[in-house]
Amino acid sequence: MALHRRDILAGAAALTAAAITGNARAQVAAARSGGILTVAADTEPRNLNPAMVASNGVFYVASKVIEPLAEMIDGGDGLAPRLATRWEGSSDGRTVTFTLRDGVSWHDGKPFTSADVDFSAMRLWKPLQNLGRTVFKNLEAVDTPDARTAVFRFSVPTPFQLVRNALPGLASVVPKHLYDVGDIATNPANTRLVGTGPFRFAEHRPGEFYRLEKNPAYWEAGRPYLDQIIYRVLPDRGAIAAALEANQIQLAAFSAVPLADMERLAKVPGIAVIPQGYDGITYQLTVEINHRRKELADARVRRAIAHAIDRKFVVDTIFLGYAKPSNGPVPAFDKQFHRTDLPDSGFDRRRAEALLDEAGLPRGGNGMRFSVRLLPAPWFEQTRQFGDYLRQALRAVGIDAQIANNDPAAHLKAVYTDHAFDLAIGSLVYRNDPAISTTILYESGLPAGVPFSNQYGYASPAMDGLVRRAASAVDPAERTALYRDMQMLAATDLPLIHVAEFTFLTVARRSVMNVANNPRWATSHWADTWLSA
């Protein structure tokens, strides 16, 4: 492998960046090359292309192969260069200029250029990607004055703050020369990934494993450390815990082991339970409300439901302490936008009952005021368990909740297409900027069938106005202020109720080094992950 001076410089720059972030877990000096890291995978996404499907299940595998323009780090301004080394927004919000990394090549040997960024943005992120469709809606063109420069041109002012916040999750670059021919959705490279990342895609045996191997021509000198990463498909949570104890796998991310087992596993010699490394992909446990139901269209009833929930119980018992109570749409991790002075809808059954009486819904002969269909999302054991809890919590204030369980496809259809629910329990992901993942839950006028969006029948001119103004607010201070107003309105109007924010746990053998050293670690590159002897 021919080492260019600029490669070494780039590597040195990255090392410096790592040092500046002051990462306690970075153990660069002692790092050792070699070894195979075997990890647990509990799902096998059919389409692995992160430029099309921005989801954590996809990123878990794909982020090692296909790189974004920038990644999320702790501290500093929150971003570190990956395929882009510099990004700059114009003051009118019309353009963002990216300087791309030099000397990067695709796994098939072709050079990486600005044409790839142009192609990925215009042909995948904007028209096809689940999250990119909103963020890059007004992206008109990407100019490529030279191979190292990409200039994003927007038809209406688009906040640079939003573009920046979208870089780690939404800006994965795929090779133009492979996607240029035929239908992008059925391109073979969606399942056999080709990227610029530290690992090359080697093979996938359905039902068994994915195998990634070291990219010897990686742009960062001396990286990656690992020879291979193997994702063993283990859908059974009990089997994952047993495989970790037997050292058949060295790591399980996304709380793939039952929370109740964590305490026991933490005591097993050689195993560590690591809560860090997920702040950038915080999940929010929410009660989704169908405003088409006349009782639930009354804000007092929604407030009563919020008061009926003991958030401390939810955090302590359902999440065993691995979560935080939440009462607004932006998680506390996002210091940019999070508002701490939202009105408290604390646990208060008497207040809940008073509000329900006030709303003209007295207890009937059977002790119940009205009944609701409650659909807990099947995504996590915690969403189901919270369903069991909420049923009891609502019955205690006289709301007769009847649970209906569905498989994932039926749940999505019932809630987001057919609106055949009264209350649903969701676990929505906060993706680093309210405009990416959050405003879509509050703005009205979205077509039926868009998952994880306002299919709740909630329509508020005030809310729509705030969302619209913020969408084109180019000045970061103004934009932040608008989203703070939006949080206040969301917390008083309560179109949906936030209960807790939770991240995940990684369980790993202590021999795995540099685990959880960035806020999206499980869905990041792992170029600096290594195995001690």
Which parts of this chain interact with other proteins (CB under 8 A)? 237-238, 241, 258, 260-261, 263-264, 313, 317-318, 381, 385, 387-389, 391-392, 395, 402-405
The nearest distance, CB 255 to other proteins, in angstroms, is 12
CB closer to other proteins out of 286 and 382: 382
The nearest distance, CB 389 to other proteins, in angstroms, is 6
Contact 205, 73 (CB under 8 A): no
Rounded CA-CA distance 240/232 in Å is 10
Residue with tokens 């109720």: 497
CB closer to other proteins out of 317 and 532: 317
The nearest distance, CB 404 to other proteins, in angstroms, is 7
CB closer to other proteins out of 261 and 475: 261
Burial bucket for residue 290 (CB in 10 Å: 0-12, 13-18, 19+): buried
The nearest distance, CB 264 to other proteins, in angstroms, is 5
Which residues, 6 or more positions from 470, have their beta carbon under 8 angstroms from its beta carbon? 434, 435, 439, 479, 482, 483, 486
The tokens for 194 are: 């080709």
Contact 151, 86 (CB under 8 A): no
CB closer to other proteins out of 230 and 240: 240
DSSP 188: G
CB closer to other proteins out of 122 and 320: 320
The nearest distance, CB 66 to other proteins, in angstroms, is 34
Taking every pair of C-alpha atoms in the chain, what is the biggest distance, in angstroms?
A: 82
Question: Which ranges of 381-522 does DSSP label H, i.e. alpha helix?
Answer: 381-396, 408-412, 434-437, 461-471, 476-493
Among 103, 97, 112, 107, which residue's Cα sits nearest to residue 173? 112
CB closer to other proteins out of 110 and 264: 264
CB closer to other proteins out of 471 and 507: 507
Among 192, 66, 51, 59, which residue's Cα sits nearest to residue 133? 51
Query: How many of the other CB atoms lie within 10 Å of CB of 384?
Result: 17
The nearest distance, CB 319 to other proteins, in angstroms, is 11
The nearest distance, CB 393 to other proteins, in angstroms, is 9
CB closer to other proteins out of 343 and 408: 408
The tokens for 185 are: 């959705």
The nearest distance, CB 305 to other proteins, in angstroms, is 17
DSSP 473: -
Question: Which ranges of 175-313 does DSSP label H, i.e. alpha helix?
Answer: 176-179, 237-245, 259-266, 299-308, 311-313
Among 111, 61, 84, 106, which residue's Cα sits nearest to residue 167? 84
Residue 425 has phi, psi (to 5 degrees) of -115, 120
CB closer to other proteins out of 247 and 532: 247
Among 464, 473, 421, which residue's Cα sits nearest to residue 445? 464
The nearest distance, CB 355 to other proteins, in angstroms, is 22
The nearest distance, CB 236 to other proteins, in angstroms, is 10
CB closer to other proteins out of 135 and 352: 352
If DSSP states are collapsed to H, E and C, what string results for 258-284?
A: CHHHHHHHHCCCCEEEECCCCHHHCEE
The tokens for 11 are: 């590597």
